[in-house]
Structure 1
Amino acid sequence: MTRSLRRDLYASVAAVLLVTAAVLIGHHIQSTSHTLFVNWPPLLATWGPHLGPGTPAAVAVAIGTVVYGPALAARLPWRKLLPLAWATALVWIFSLALIDGWHRGIARRLTSRHEYLQVIDRFDDIPNALRGFTGHILLGSPDHWPAHVAGHPPAAPLTFVLLDRIGLGGGGWAGVWCITVGATACVAVLVTVRALADETLARRAAPFLVLAPAAVWMGTSADAYFAAVAAWAVALLALAVTGRSLWWAGASGLLFGLTCYLSYGLTLVALIGAAVLWLGRRGLRERPALLVPLFAGLAVVPALFTLAGFDWWEAYRLLVTRYHQGVGGIRPYDYWVWANLACAVLITGLATVAGLRRTGAVLVRARGGTHGRTAEARLALLVSAALLALLVADLSGMSKAETERIWLPFAIWLLPACALLNRPRAWLAAQALLALLLNHLLLTGW
C-alpha cells in the first residue's frame, strides 16, 4: 500500500467517524431536547429499510458504471461521452428515486405542504404576485408562504407556475423536470474541468460525477434544478474566458442572474465564478470586453424582477427573520455547524473525502512553485473554491439541517477531486454502495 493511499484511507476513516458522531450525538440531542427536528440526524430522514421497483435498475447502473465507467470515459470521443454521462446520471437518479416508488419517490415530493406546487394558484396574476411577494414571507403575515417558497426568491416557484401554464402541471411533471435538468449538472462540471484543467482529468472525474451519492437527493428536489442552472452558469463562464467568446459570457451572466433569483444562498456560487475568472485570467486579459456581456447578462434577471416589483434585498432581510421564527431559530448551531459537514460526506461520498485530501496535497505542492500551473493545480483551485463556498454557507448559520439537499449546488463541484485518485473502480464501488444503502435503509424527505 502506497503512502498516498494510506493517507486517503485515514481521511476516509476520519470522515466515517465524523458521520458516526453526528448520528450518535444527534440521536441523543433529538431524544432528550427534541431541538433538531429531524428523525434520523444528521439527515432529514426516517429509518425504514425497503426495496422498490427502482432497485434492480439502480444496482445494474451501479455495477455497469463501476465495471465499465472508467474505461469508457477514457476512450470515448468527447462528444459522445457528454450525452452518455448525462443519460447515465439521469437513469441513476431516476432508479434511486423509484426505489421509493413513483408516487412517493417522484410524483409526491414537490406537492407537500412546504413545497412550490402548493402556491400555483396564487400566481394566476404573476405581476401582482411578484409585487406582493415579500408581504407573505413572515409567519403571521396574511396567507404566509410555505417554507420553501418563503425561503427562495420567486424565480423558484415561478418555474413551476410556468410549467403548469404549458400543460406540465402536477407533481409528476415537476419531479421529471427537476431530475432531467438536474442530471445535466454533471455535464456542466465536466465541460468546466476540461476547459480550465484538462480533458484527461475531466474524463477521470466523469464516472464519479455520474455515480454521485448526491443522486439520492437530486431525485426529486428543486435544488437539483438549481444546481444545474448554477453549474451551467459556471461552465459557460469557463468556455467564455478560455474561448474568448462574447456570446458565452453573456449567456453565463444571464444564468448567474437567474441563479441568484432561484436561491438566496446561491449568491455564493460567485466564489466558484471568481475561481473561473482567475484560472481564465489570460483570456480575460487578451479580451477584457468579455466583462461587458457578462455583466450585461447578469443584470437582466434582477432588472426584470425589480421592475416587476420584487425587492431581493428586502425579501432576504425578511427571510432571515422568518428563518429564526421557525425551526431554524431553535435548531442548535453548535451541533449543525459540524454535523452539516457529515451531511456533506454522505452526499459526496468517501471517494470525494479522499479526493479533497489529495486536493490539499496538490495545493501545498503548488504553493510558490511552477506546479501551480499544472492541470491538477488548476482543478484543485476550482474544487477549493467550491469547498470555500460550502464552508461559508455552513458558518453563516442559515444552513442548519437539510444540507444534504440545500448544498447540492456546491457538492457537485467537490466531486471532480475524485479525478486525482488511483484505483477508481474501488472508490466508485464505495460511492455506489453508499448511495444504495442510504436509499434502501432510509426514507428521505423534506
Structure 2
Amino acid sequence: MRLVIAGLLVAAAIIAGFVVNAHDPNLIFAAAAPLFGDWQPHVGPGTPIAILIAFLVVAKGPELARHRFALPIAYATSVAFTFSLAMIDGWGRFVTRLTTDDEYLHEVPGITDVPAMLRGFAARIPDFQPDSWTTHVSGHPPGALLTFVALDRVGLGGGAAASLFCILVGSLAVVAIPCAIKNNAVLPFLVLFPGAVWVGASADGMFMGVAAVGLYLLTRWPLVGGVVLGWCLFLSYGLVLLAPLALAAVWRQGELGRRIGLAVVGALAVVGAFAIAGFWWYEGYELVKLRYYQGIGDTRPYWYWVWANLAALALVIGPAGIKGLRKDKWVAGAAAAILAADLSGLSKAETERIWLPFAVWLLVGTAKLDNQKRWLTAQAVTALAVNHLVLTNW
C-alpha cells in the first residue's frame, strides 16, 4: 500500500509541476518538478558502466554482503556507481558543478585571510551588498567553504578535485551505516541508493558522508562523534536536525546520560572554537533565514513544496527504501528530521540533495527485505531512470 501511495504522490507532483510551469515557469522554479533540473532524456559515457555495475550488484550484492571484505568492496563499488551516474551527464558537466557563480569554488580565490573571513562571514550573508557571498556560501556556515579552501591549499583546487572529493566522502556513508546498525545486509542497497544521483556531485553528498561517520563514531566513542557532528553544524545549518539520529546513536540502556554528555561536550568544543574565531552559529542562522527570502525561497510556494518535497524524497530512497520503512530508532530519527525540515518552510525544492544526510538512513530497513534481488533491481532502475530522463542541476 505504501508503494502505491508513494507512486501516486510522485505522479501528482509531476502533473502539478507541469501544470504550474505551463502557467508560470518562474513560480516553483523547477522545470522537472518535483526534482530540480530539466526534463531532458539523454545518455552518456557513464551509461554502460552504470548499468553494468548495477547488474553486478543485483546479481552478487547480497552474497558479497557476507564477505569478509564486504565493507571495502561496497565502498569501492559505491564510488564507482556514483561516478558512473555522474558521467551519464558527461565529464564537462561534472567538473563544473561546483564552479558556477552560485557555488563554493567561486569564492575560494578571494579567501586570502581565513581568520578575517571568519570574523566577517556573517556580515556578508544578506544579499544585495557589494560583497555578498554567493548563494551556496551564504546559505551555509563557513565550514563548507573552509573545506574547499583547504582542498585548494593542499593542491587539490578546481572543479574536478572538488567533485571527486564529494563522491569519495559521500560514499563513506555506505561503510558507516552498516557499522552503526551492525548489519551488513544493508550494503547492496546503500550502494544502489538512488540518492547517489545527487552525491555526484554536490556538497550535500559530502555532508552525508561526514554526518554518517559522525553518527557511527557516536555509537562507539561519543566524545569523538560529538566533535564530528559539531563540525557538521558548520557544514550546513540544516544538520542541526541530526539531533534525533544522534539520540538513536547514543541510546544504550544505563549509559544514556553519560554518552549524551560526552557527545554534547565534543559538539560544543567545535561551536566554541568557531565562536572564538569570530563566527557565532545562531547569528548566521538568523541571517540565512533573511537571505532565503531575498531569493527564490520567497517565490516558491509552500503549498506545493510541502508535499512535493516528499515526492522527491520517494525518488531518492527508491521503492526498496519505501518498502523497508519500519519501526526502528534510526528510521524514526531520520523521519523526524525530514518532517521538521519540510514543515519549516526552509526546504522548498532541491530536497533531493539537501536531505541526503537524513534520507540515506531511511534505507536501514532494507536489510530485512525478502527477495532482495528484486528490490535491488527496483533501486537500480530508479537511479538510472532519474539520471537518464532528467538533467539534474546537481
TM-score (norm 1): 0.86
2:36 to 40, 44, 60: 44
Q: Of residues 261, 267, 270 in structure 1, which corresponds to 2:240?
A: 267
| Residue in 2 that maps onto 1:401 | 349
Are the aligned partners of 1:189 and 1:231 in contact in 2 as well (CA < 8 Å)? yes
**2:300 equivalent to 1:308:** no
Assess if the C-alpha contact under 8 Å between 1:271 and 1:386 holds in 2: yes
Q: Is the 8 A contact 2:32 2:39 kept in 1?
A: yes
User: What residue identity is the alignment partner of 2:102?
Assistant: H
Aligned to 2:290: 321
Cross-structure match for 1:441: 389
Number of the residue aligned with 1:26: 17
Aligned to 1:128: 116
Distance 1:291 1:203 in 2: 26
In 2, are the aligned partners of 1:135 and 1:141 still within 8 Å (CA)? no
How far apart are residue 31 of structure 1 and its match? 1.8
Counterpart CA distance in 1 for 2:254 and 2:101 is 49
Instruction: For residue 132 of structure 1, report the CA deviation from its aligned partner.
Output: 0.8
Q: 1:167 corresponds to which residue?
A: 155
Match for residue 337 of structure 2?
389
Structure in which a larger fraction of residues adopt helix: 1
CA distance in 1: counterparts of 2:41 and 2:125, whole angstroms? 37
CA separation in 2, counterparts of 1:284 and 1:344? 31
Alpha-carbon offset, residue 40 of structure 1: 0.8
Within-5 A mapping of 1:69-148: 69-73=61-65, 75-77=66-68, 80-104=69-93, 106-148=94-136
Distance 1:32 1:398 in 2: 24
Over aligned residues, Cα RMSD in angstroms?
1.3
**Structure 2: distance between partners of 1:185 and 1:206:** 10
Bigger-Rg structure (1/2):
1
| Partner Cα distance (1:28, 1:218) in 2 | 29
The 2-side partners of 1:23 and 1:17 are apart by 10
**One-letter identity of the residue aligned with 2:254:** R
Partner of 1:225: 206
Amino acid at match of 2:355: W
Q: Kindly provide the CA deviation profile for residues 250-297 of structure 1, in whole angstroms up to 9, marking residues without a partner as x.
A: 21011011000100000000110112223x233447xx3x45543332
Provide the rounded CA distance (Å) in 2 between the counterparts of 1:409 and 1:52.
28
Separation of aligned partners in 1, 2:280 and 2:107: 20
Contact 1:186 / 1:412 at 8 angstroms: preserved in 2? no
Aligned to 1:250: 223
User: Residues 51-105 of structure 1, C-alpha deviation per residue, up to 9 Å, x if partnerless?
Assistant: 11111110111000001101221x312xx1111111111111011011111111x
Distance 1:389 1:224 in 2: 17
Deviation track 1:277-320 (CA, whole Å, cap 9, x = no partner) reads 23x233447xx3x4554333212221221111112111111110
Task: List per-residue Cα deviations over 1:377-398 (Å, max 9, x = no partner).
Answer: xxx1211111111111100110
Question: CA separation in 2, counterparts of 1:226 and 1:108?
Answer: 19
- Report if the CA contact (8 A) 1:122-1:129 is conserved: no
* Secondary structure at 1:325 match in 2: coil
Q: TM-score, normalised by structure 2?
A: 0.97
SS of residue in 2 equivalent to 1:282:
coil
Amino acid at match of 1:90: V
SS across alignment from 2:127:
coil
SS in structure 2 at match of 1:29? helix
**Paired position in structure 1 for 2:254:** 282
Match runs of 1:358-397 below 5 Å? 359=326, 363=327, 380-397=328-345
Unaligned runs of 5+ in 1: 1-9, 195-201, 240-247, 364-379
Q: How many residues align?
A: 393
Q: Which range is displaced more, 342-351 or 295-304?
A: 295-304
Q: In the alignment, residue 417 of structure 1 is paired with which amino acid?
A: G
**Structure 1 letter corresponding to 2:181:** V
Kindly indicate whether the alpha-carbon contact (under 8 Å) linking 2:250 and 2:260 is maintained by their aligned counterparts in 1.
Answer: no
Mapped partners of 1:115, 1:281: distance in 2:
44
The AA in structure 2 aligned to 1:313 is Y
Q: Deviations over 1:337-377 (max 9, x none)?
A: 00000000011101111111xx1xxx4xxxxxxxxxxxxxx
What secondary structure is seen at the aligned counterpart in 2 of 1:46?
strand
Q: What CA distance in whole angstroms lies between the structure 1 residues aligned with 2:278 and 2:53?
A: 47
Structure 2 gaps, min length 5: none
Alignment match of 2:300 (pick from 319, 328, 331) = 331
* Alpha-carbon distance in 1 for matches of 2:235, 2:269: 14
Q: Is the 8 A contact 2:222 2:250 kept in 1?
A: no
Q: Given residue 132 of structure 1, which amino acid in structure 2 is its aligned partner?
A: G
Which residue does 2:143 correspond to in 1?
A: 155
Match of residue 424, structure 1, among 364, 372, 383: 372
- Partner residue of 1:13? 4
Q: Structure 1: which 4+ aligned runs deviate by more than 2 Å? A: 281-285, 290-296
The alignment partner of 1:329 has SS state of coil
Measure, in 1, the Cα distance between the counterparts of 2:254 and 2:372: 33
